């Protein structure tokens, strides 16, 4: 098991060049940027960050979003998946293969209760890949992250922010800051913040007060133009911004007491997948693999 906390910046990256804290000398970085501007790459999410390849993928049964990110200008095209779902692993890996990416991390924002993570299946199909989850989740994984850690893929990185409240181990992954990182920044919020909503707080060590504090201190403090990508959407919406949610989120724009009252009175049904999904996800989906093999 690896813990990223003591290794910053980015020392865990398998693509580290030890002559530079970000893996490359300034000259090499310039070369990569120039190459991407010459048309090698086509699917960046951001005009000012031509290196980032980004895709939002959807799993319809649980309305889950999986995110694929890669440094397309690095020779190895290192990539990671955030919140993969077991039933769509083959689709995700086909895309990775087609694009010539090298998948190095399969990450979860938290222990999901509504689907089984694809991490275990992916580990069996992508040699060398590491699973990643927060230490606070109590789940099994190859790499445990804590607030402030950086997860590097090529010259890009994600910063880890603790956003408990939906579950005790929820984290938000935020793209890096600096001239070579995506602008605007992008935050993958899991279930801590949904578009015009938030995750429930009545299971898995949830706490409405903690969630309120997490969102206001860790997400709403990001620049207002930061793009927010949640783990789910049930209405077909795909992305929002910090500024938008600060104005229009019907729950999190309220004061803390009102928010607590809203969350205490949601009267939601018992999650139908929780008894299957949580035990499997506590071992990063490997339990699901074991039961299928036996």
- 3-class SS at 290? helix
With b for 16 or more beta-carbon neighbours within 10 A and e for fewer, the 170-198 pattern comes to bbbbbbbeeebbbbbbbbbbbbbbbbbbb
By CB under 5 A, which span of 9-17, 39-47, 122-130, 185-193 interacts with Fe ion? 185-193
Q: Based on CB atoms, which residue is closest to Fe ion, 59 or 191?
A: 191
* In the complex, minimum distance from the CB of residue 105 to Fe ion, in angstroms, rounded to a whole number: 20
Q: Based on CB atoms, which residue is closest to Fe ion, 104 or 194?
A: 194
Q: Per CB under 5 A, does 180 bind Fe ion?
A: no
Report which of 226, 251, 221 is spatially closest to residue 240, judged by C-alpha positions: 226
By CB under 5 A, which span of 111-119, 120-128, 152-160, 239-247 interacts with Fe ion? 111-119
Strand blocks (E) in 128-185: 130-134, 143-145, 150-153, 156-162, 171-175
Report which of 133, 88, 72, 138 is spatially closest to residue 106, judged by C-alpha positions: 133
Q: Based on CB atoms, which residue is closest to Fe ion, 201 or 249?
A: 201
Which of 191, 233, 245, 288 lies at the binding interface for Fe ion (CB under 5 A)? 191
Q: Which residues pair with 117 in a beta bridge?
A: 85
Q: Based on CB atoms, which residue is closest to Fe ion, 80 or 113?
A: 113
Kindly identify the residues of this chain, within the stretch 205-264, that bind Fe ion according to CB under 5 A.
none
Give the CB-nearest residue to Fe ion: 191
Peptide bond into 9 cis (omega under 30): yes
Q: Based on CB atoms, which residue is closest to Fe ion, 51 or 200?
A: 200
Kindly identify the residues of this chain, within the stretch 112-141, that bind Fe ion according to CB under 5 A.
112
Tally of residues, the chain: 294
Site residues, Fe ion (CB under 5 A): 112, 191
């Amino acid at each position: 098991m690896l813990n990223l906390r003591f290794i910053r910046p980015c020392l865990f990256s398998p693509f580290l060049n030890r002559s530079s804290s970000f893996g490359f000398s300034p000259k090499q970085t310039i070369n990569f940027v120039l190459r991407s501007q010459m048309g090698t790459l086509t699917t960046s999410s951001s005009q000012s960050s031509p290196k980032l390849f980004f895709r939002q993928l959807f799993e319809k049964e649980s309305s889950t979003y999986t995110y694929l990110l890669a440094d397309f200008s690095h020779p190895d095209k290192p990539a990671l998946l955030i919140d993969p779902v077991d039933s769509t692993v083959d689709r995700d890996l086909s895309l990775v293969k087609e694009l010539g990416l090298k998948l190095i991390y399969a990450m979860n924002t938290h222990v999901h209760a509504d689907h089984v993570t694809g991490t275990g299946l992916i580990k069996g199909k992508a040699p060398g890949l590491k699973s990643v989850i927060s230490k606070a989740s109590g789940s099994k994984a190859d790499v445990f992250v804590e607030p402030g850690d950086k997860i590097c893929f090529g010259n890009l990185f994600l910063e880890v922010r603790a956003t408990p409240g939906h579950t005790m181990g929820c984290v938000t992954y935020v793209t890096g800051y600096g001239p070579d990182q995506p602008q605007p920044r992008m935050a993958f919020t899991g279930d801590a913040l949904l578009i015009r909503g938030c995750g429930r707080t009545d299971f898995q060590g949830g706490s409405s007060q903690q969630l309120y504090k997490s969102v206001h201190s860790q997400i709403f403090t990001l620049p207002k133009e930061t793009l927010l990508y949640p783990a789910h959407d049930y209405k077909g919406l795909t992305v929002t911004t910090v500024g938008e949610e600060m104005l229009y989120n019907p729950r999190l724009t309220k004061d803390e007491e009102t928010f607590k009252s809203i969350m205490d009175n949601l009267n939601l049904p018992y999650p139908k997948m929780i008894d299957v999904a949580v035990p499997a996800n506590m071992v990063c989906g490997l339990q699901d693999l074991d039961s299928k093999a036996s």
